[in-house]
Amino acid sequence: MRDGDPFRISLPDRVRSVLASLVDAGAEAALVGGSVRDLLRRDPPADWDVATSAPPEQVAELFPGSTWQNPFGTVTVRDTEGEPGVEVTTYRVEAGYRDRRRPESVQWGRSLIQDLARRDFTINAVAWLPDDLAAGGGRLVDPFGGAEDLETGTLRAVGDADARFAEDALRLVRAVRFATRFDLRLDPATETAMRRHAGSAAALSGERVRDELLRLLAGPQLPSGAFLLMERLGLLAVLLPELAALRDVPQLKRIEGDAFEHSLRTADAMPASDAPLRLAGLLHDLGKAKTLADGHFIGHETAGAELAEGVLKRLRSPRAEITRIVRLIRLHMFSYSPNWTDAAVRRFVRRVGVDLLEDLFALRAADNAASGTREPPVGGVEELRARAAAAMAMGPLDASQLAISGDDLVTELGISPGPEIGRLLARLLEAAIDDPSRNEREQLLELARGWQRSG
């Protein structure tokens, strides 16, 4: 498939109808970017972006109920509940753009080509211009050779690579993401420019970097390749110096390699469906760079939790995500022994938190896989998991699960609302963790009365 070639595609109805409305209104409208790239690769597109000659005001008018996000002039058209909206963006031209490889064969859509020229990589600078919407007929618009680059497995910046990375350093991370996701080699000029501009990634906003890193971690492909590539390009030391510092930190594990390689393997072994969990795997051993002494890493989980918190704050991660990852790292060295009493199991669950338990077991499983460690069939983490499940089914692990509430203490015992209620509930929870059969209304009230009497 080359620029100008006929290209028949099967469009979802909602996308076809958006294109048809724009064309009927006399505008030019085309599919652009990732969806066309995915169609060329015969992958189902994740989202459908439309570019048009119609100004945003006209687009908003054509689709009542659509939302218009300034300042990019992107209008999101939503017609089907649940389905992602179709994004319609008016043709844009980036200031300072100089036209290079525009082939003579392309006469239509002069502004469409300018819109493509401001995009990051040739594989993303592709469009599909319909000529027979009902039948899914149209042509490929590919002025920069994106289809050929896909075929040869090349990631190439559009136009002057140096200028592209100077315009927007986020493209450095995006390049790594696309190269990993589609298994592409960096075109030499693109790679040279990336090395030259790696340092400029330091000025990127945390939000934008986090967004790309999570997209990178969420892929079906293993994340290790992406982070090795970032290291090779000098990008890792700029964006995640704490992780880069694990290179050459020696480890004594069944699987050879330094602490950096171990971290990548751990991230790889995490479920791809949960990108923040993969991030926890990637960052779980950050503390090893600081704590190595006599072949041991005493306290690395505490040092690592602190370093990870710094990283996540820099990336402007939401608070809940920071708490989740930092707690996992702090707890990841837990050890279990089969002689734990049931009460000890319940205390463990309470300390970890019911919500975090499965994540912690997932981190341990990935850490083990990345170390070549096997849990013993009896008395290992699987046993703890089973016992924890039984403990959760058996009795309360949280004050909210007690058979009485603070209000009951107020009405039944005549205690006035205040900190005393919280202290009593905490003490009752301790009692119920020791012996779940005590979690029964009358027994708990009786216990509390007794404590009150004895002062």
Cβ proximity to Mg ion: between 167 and 211 the closer is 211
167 vs 146: CA distance, rounded Å: 20
* Residue 77 · residue 40 · CB < 8 Å: no
33 binds ligand ATP (CB under 6 A): yes
Close Cβ partners of 258 (under 8 Å, ≥ 6 residues apart):
246, 247, 248, 249, 250, 251
The residue whose Cβ lies closest to Mg ion is 34
* Residue 176 · residue 216 · CB < 8 Å: yes
Q: Per-residue contact track with ligand ATP, 114 to 153, x per CB under 6 A? A: -----xx---x-----------------------------
When CB distances are held under 5 to 8 angstroms depending on the partner's kind, the choice from ligand ATP, Mg ion, none that residue 333 binds is none
Smallest gap from Cβ 47 to ligand ATP, in A, equals 6
Cβ proximity to ligand ATP: between 138 and 159 the closer is 159
Lookup: tokens for 389: 């499940």
In the chain, % helix, strand, coil (3-state, to 5) comes to 55, 10, 35
Using CB under 6 A as the binding criterion, the count of chain residues that bind ligand ATP stands at: 12
Q: Per-residue contact track with ligand ATP, 164 to 203, x per CB under 6 A? A: ----x-xx--------------------------------
Cβ proximity to ligand ATP: between 49 and 142 the closer is 49
Long-range contacts of 234-239 (CB under 8 A, 24+ apart): 234/195, 234/198, 234/199, 235/172, 235/173, 235/176, 235/194, 235/198, 235/201, 238/198, 238/199, 238/201, 238/202, 239/173, 239/201, 239/202, 239/204, 239/209, 239/213
Candidates 47, 131, 183, 442; binder of Mg ion (CB under 5 A) is 47
Smallest gap from Cβ 215 to Mg ion, in A, equals 9
Q: Which of residues 214-273 bind ligand ATP (CB under 6 A)?
A: 215
With residue 15 as reference, give the H or E element that holds it.
helix 13-24
The closest alpha carbon to 232, from 255, 262, 198, belongs to: 198
Candidates 10, 26, 44, 46; binder of ligand ATP (CB under 6 A) is 46
34 binds Mg ion (CB under 5 A): yes
Lookup: tokens for 440: 């029964």
Binding site for Mg ion (CB under 5 A): 34, 47
Binding site for ligand ATP (CB under 6 A): 33-34, 46-47, 49, 119-120, 124, 168, 170-171, 215
